[in-house]
Amino acid sequence: MAHILVADDDVEQVAVQRKLLEALGYEVGTAVSPAAALRELERCAPNLIIVDLRFPDAADGLGLIRAIRETGCLLPVIVLSGWPDDLYGSPEEQLVTRVLVKGCVRELLQTIAELLVG
């Protein structure tokens, strides 16, 4: 089954996503900081990455998206954020596959299935 990396500083959000995705048969790696996400990216070799935009330190989600792409990673990146407007109009907008608003579980699951199938 596919491996998904979830990067979000909200520990509860990460736990909910992990539980849901694992119940659907996905392997899930998690990270609560951009630095941890980059380490996990190397460690777990995911098939898809889900990234929040807002982290409490200066290394925010936009920086994480840039860093992911700078590693040469071409995997699908879904931005899942309560604040997607932070992405629109930025150079990083061109680096992501999809942008979703937190709370849209059905849309998230449909997007994951679509991106992992083909």
Q: Any idea where the domains of the chain sit in the sequence?
A: 3-117
**Which residues fall within 8 angstroms of residue 58, CB to CB, at 6 or more apart?**
none
Give pLDDT tens digits for 10-51.
999 999 999 999 999 999 999 999 999 999 999 988 999 999
CATH of 3-117, one of 3.40.50.300, 3.90.930.12, 2.40.30.10, 3.40.50.2300: 3.40.50.2300
Query: Residues for the chain: how many in total?
Result: 118
Element containing residue 12 per DSSP (H, E): helix 11-23
Q: Copy the structure tokens of residue 36.
A: 């941890």
Considering the entire predicted model, what is its pTM? 0.92
**Residue 39 and residue 44: Cα distance in Å, rounded?**
9
> Phi then psi for 100, rounded to 5 degrees?
-130, 155
Give pLDDT tens digits for 73-108.
999 999 999 888 877 888 888 999 999 999 899 999
Beta sheet of 48-51, edge-to-edge order: 27-31, 3-7, 48-51, 77-81, 98-101
